[in-house]
Amino acid sequence: MDNHQEFFGTESSIALMKRSAALWTLMQDNPRFAYYGRTISLSDPQNDTADVLTSIASLLGASVAYYFPKSEVDSLFSELKARGFSSDRHEHYWGGKAAYDASRQILDKHTLPDDLSIVALDETSPTALVADVAALCQSCDVMPVPGFIMRGQARRGINFAAIDSVGVPVASASSFVMHHASGPRPNDVFWGMLATRRDRRGEKIGLILGAMAIIHMWEKEAARGFMTGVRLDNPSSQALCNKLGVTDSDWVYASCINNEVLGRASVTK
């Protein structure tokens, strides 16, 4: 199977990712925009943020502004509503050197259960394994990204999976380059897609994989900032992020949604 045909999730999510992948071929040289497989997002919000978000959402169904100031988000959402669009938000969690140091301490203190091994997805990974990791993400209400992203092909990055003794993934964590090299924050990377099967929770597997992803990206890809979106009503994710030195910031992920085009996809978790 061509890895560039590996799309996972709901019908609406897959349609969004296919549209985004196609549009990204035209927009990838613009340093204001970011991409790691879900949708095309604005990584340099300015006075034209509402114009840019609504333009992209009209084509794709959704777009996100990263680094958008919390103090201005209500005004932005009012403007989007006036234009006939819906909105959504995740808190913008971010970590730098503290995240790397915390991750090192976690790996010094904790080890994985003996029945688990670690696999890093790449171009040689079986299609069935990639699909199983994507299914695990979906079961944890985490939207997977396309196979060519999970494998680290279209974006530099890593997708770690913890595999049990019968070859089934029980947890995963990812981090990918997402911003343009000439943009204002080229060394900030997406970090997240943390998913642990319900019956394996409480064993610190997600914590360890999350730390491994941070260390890999810091040491191998020169990442110096780790960003992820967290819901206000998700204390467990907040606590895990805080343990890894990825903490709440003065920004939000501000999403603009065209429901007629998007359907039921969610783009920021």
pLDDT band at 4 (very low <50, low <70, confident <90, very high): low
pLDDT band at 262 (very low <50, low <70, confident <90, very high): confident
The pLDDT assigned to 264 comes to 53
Residue the block writes with tokens 């840019």: 52
Q: Answer whether residue 245 shows pLDDT above 90.
A: yes
Arithmetic mean of pLDDT over the chain:
95
Q: Which amino acid is at 27?
A: M
The pLDDT assigned to 263 comes to 72
Contact (CB, 8 A) for 119 and 160 = yes
**Is CATH 3.30.200.20 the right assignment for the domain spanning 7-262?**
no
Residue 178: closest CA among 45, 9, 38? 38
Please say whether the dihedral angle defined by the alpha carbons of residues 174, 220, 67 and 62, taken in this order, is positive or negative. negative
Domain ranges within the chain, ordered by starting residue = 7-262
Per residue in 8-60, pLDDT tens? 999 999 999 999 999 999 999 999 999 999 999 999 999 999 999 999 999 99
